[in-house]
């Protein structure tokens, strides 16, 4: 009987805490936006692999529909924060992830560019972060894409792809 009561209390606490946004008991992000999409894979890409899959059209289109003419420095900062939050939930070193993201120079003030996809993987057997951004020029809004493959050790760009 005592075990049943303890079990019920734990279940009730889990249900209540499970509804809380910052619940430390769950490994799943509860109310994070879909953009940027972040994943960790064991893939080892080469240049042809990256060329053939960029842009990730699902998330590129979602980003363009949501934010076409709404790019601001505060929105870029928010999406960068969401990226780091998701990376942390995926057990990634957020200091390294942040340094790699900053190495793209896409977060600089005035740059019309939004992060919509990030993947922790390998490129030619080097550990890397792959970032995809939707970008534009001035008031024309976003709609072009850029991809950076950043070495996690040296924070160097291993590959850069853009549509223009």
Residue among 107, 113, 106 nearest 140 (CA): 113
Residue 9 has pLDDT above 90, yes or no: no
The pTM of the full predicted model, rounded to 2 decimals, is: 0.80
Residue 85 has pLDDT above 60, yes or no: yes
């Amino acid at each position: 009987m005592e075990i049943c009561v303890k079990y019920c209390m734990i279940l009730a606490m889990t249900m209540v805490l499970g509804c809380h946004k910052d619940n430390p008991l769950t490994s799943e992000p509860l109310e994070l936006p879909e953009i940027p999409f972040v994943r960790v894979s064991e893939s080892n890409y080469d240049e042809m692999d990256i060329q053939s899959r960029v842009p990730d059209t699902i998330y590129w289109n979602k980003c363009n529909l949501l934010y076409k003419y709404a790019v601001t420095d505060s929105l870029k900062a928010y999406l960068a924060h969401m990226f780091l939050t998701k990376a942390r939930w995926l057990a990634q070193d957020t200091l390294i992830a942040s340094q790699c993201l900053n190495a793209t120079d896409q977060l600089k003030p005035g740059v019309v560019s939004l992060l919509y996809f990030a993947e922790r993987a390998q490129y030619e057997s080097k550990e890397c972060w792959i970032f995809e951004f939707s970008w534009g020029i001035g008031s024309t809004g976003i709609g072009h894409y850029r991809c950076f493959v950043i070495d996690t050790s040296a924070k160097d760009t291993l590959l850069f792809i853009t549509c223009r």
